[in-house]
Amino acid sequence: MSHKHKVMIEKVFAHPIATNIDWKKLEHALEHFGAEIEISNSNRAKIVLRDKEIVIGLPHHGHEIADKAEVTQLRHFLEEVKLTPDTI
């Protein structure tokens, strides 16, 4: 496992909630851990991991997810599929 992938997952779980998560780096980290990601025409990402799925909005300007609600939703999803900094 690459250290950079673990760091991206840790950033999702950071306190206070991180609002500068680079989408491309996160996408690569999630794919590294087995996620399948589909990007829709409406700039939303469907992430499927361990038979669970989540849909999040992607950044419109820049490359960083800055919406705290999206990060919180992603955090809960990762907890549900047991992909947390403690389980990596």
Looking at the structure of the chain, the number of domains it has is 1
Q: pLDDT value at position 28?
A: 95
Handedness of CA 58, 59, 63, 67 (dihedral sign): negative
Whether residue 65 is contained in a domain is answered as yes
pLDDT in tens, 8-32: 999 999 999 998 899 999 999 999 9
pLDDT in tens, 28-85: 999 999 999 999 988 899 999 999 999 999 887 768 888 899 999 999 999 999 999 9
CATH code at position 42: 3.30.250
Whether residue 86 is contained in a domain is answered as no
Say if residue 2's pLDDT is above 80: no
Whether residue 43 is contained in a domain is answered as yes
Say if residue 1's pLDDT is above 70: no
Distance CA 61, CA 3 (A): 27
Residue-range definition of the domain harbouring residue 53: 3-80
